[in-house]
Amino acid sequence: MNNHVGAACDEFYVNSRLHFKLETAQEQEPVLRFFERVTKAFPTMRKLRQREDGCVILEEEGPGRSSRRWLRIDPATMRFGYYAVPDIEEIRVLAGVILEHAPYYLNLSELNYDYLEVLYGFDLDYRGNHDQLLAETFWADHPFASLLLGEETTHVIESQPYLGVALNPECDLQAYAEVKSRTSTFEIRNGEFDEAPISIYLTVRQYWGFDIGTSLVETHRKMMDIADELAGEKVVPVLVNPLAHAIAGRL
């Protein structure tokens, strides 16, 4: 994959999530031993904290939008990712360490795996009505335009596309593309907008209820190959680039 896939956006990040069918026990000692193993591979991941909801997070220090790795464990999921990732290959290395050692240290059972996800996130900062921008960028030449951009329309307040496809006959391997706006009706009424990101999400999801036949590490690697291809050939040229050009045209 082209490591500059995020060049057209303000921030690019990759997240992964392993979702469990049944909640798992979070005993302190196994979690700490697992985190210590991750820290050996990535010495800068040393910030440990527990949120009010009980989830435990290990991450790198870093202000604002600085590049950083993170790992989060709660009873229903294990999540990890890389914010402002400098090289897409570093995600594969991070995933390899976490997914290889998590089953051993956390006593995870393959029977309890529900699905594994890989998400590519593209953020584009925009000060204005996000939904109006999305409608004009993606729906202007679509039959929806008669509703979204018709004479009777005062403001567009919802125009976020969310699409999903199955990638195999069993429908257990899926891909989703979503564009997420963040403009409130309060901002629209007052005509004052905060600068906030419009997010484009590409998610590849593999359910575990079928005969996968590969390890978590290998499955994640294959999912990233799929995400690489979809991002480079579909999501960036069809969603990210047109939206980036539309924002640039309004500056």
Q: What is the mean pLDDT of the chain?
A: 92
Contact 246, 137 (CB under 8 A): yes
Topology of 11-248 in CATH?
Double Stranded RNA Binding Domain (3.30.160)
> Based on the number of CB atoms within 10 Å of its own CB, is 41 exposed (0-12), middle (13-18) or buried (19 or more)?
middle
pLDDT confidence of 2, banded at 50, 70, 90? very low
Strand partners, 79: 17, 72
Q: Given pLDDT bands bounded at 50, 70 and 90, which one contains residue 130?
A: very high
> Residues 169-189: what's their mean pLDDT?
95
pLDDT digits (tens, 9 = 90+) for 65-79: 678 999 999 999 999
**pLDDT per position as a tens digit, 96-126:** 999 999 999 999 999 999 999 999 999 999 9
Order of strands across the sheet that contains 77-83: 45-50, 56-60, 68-73, 77-83, 11-20, 113-127, 195-207, 173-180, 162-166
Q: What angle do CA 130, 133, 135 make, to 5 degrees?
A: 110
Quote the percentage of the chain above a pLDDT of 70: 96
- Distances in Å between the Cα of 226 and the Cα atoms of 19, 28, 114, 118, 221 are 20, 36, 20, 10, 9
Report the alpha-carbon distance of residue 123 to residue 181 in Å, rounded. 10
Residues 1 and 232: beta-carbon distance below 8 Å: yes
Exposure string over 77-90, b if 16+ CB within 10 A, otherwise e: bbbbbbbbbeebeb
Band of residue 144 on the pLDDT scale cut at 50, 70, 90 = confident
Provide the residue ranges of all domains of the chain, joining segments of one domain with +: 11-248
What is the rounded distance in angstroms from the CA atom of residue 106 to the CA atom of residue 101? 8
Rounded CA gap, 15 and 41, in Å? 18
Q: Provide the token pair at 232.
A: 């480079």
What pLDDT, in 10s, does the model give residues 18-43?
Answer: 999 999 888 899 999 999 999 999 99
What is this structure's pTM?
0.93
- Which helix (H) or strand (E) is 120 found in, with range? strand 113-127
What phi, psi does 196 have (nearest 5°)? -145, 155
d(CA 11, CA 233): 19
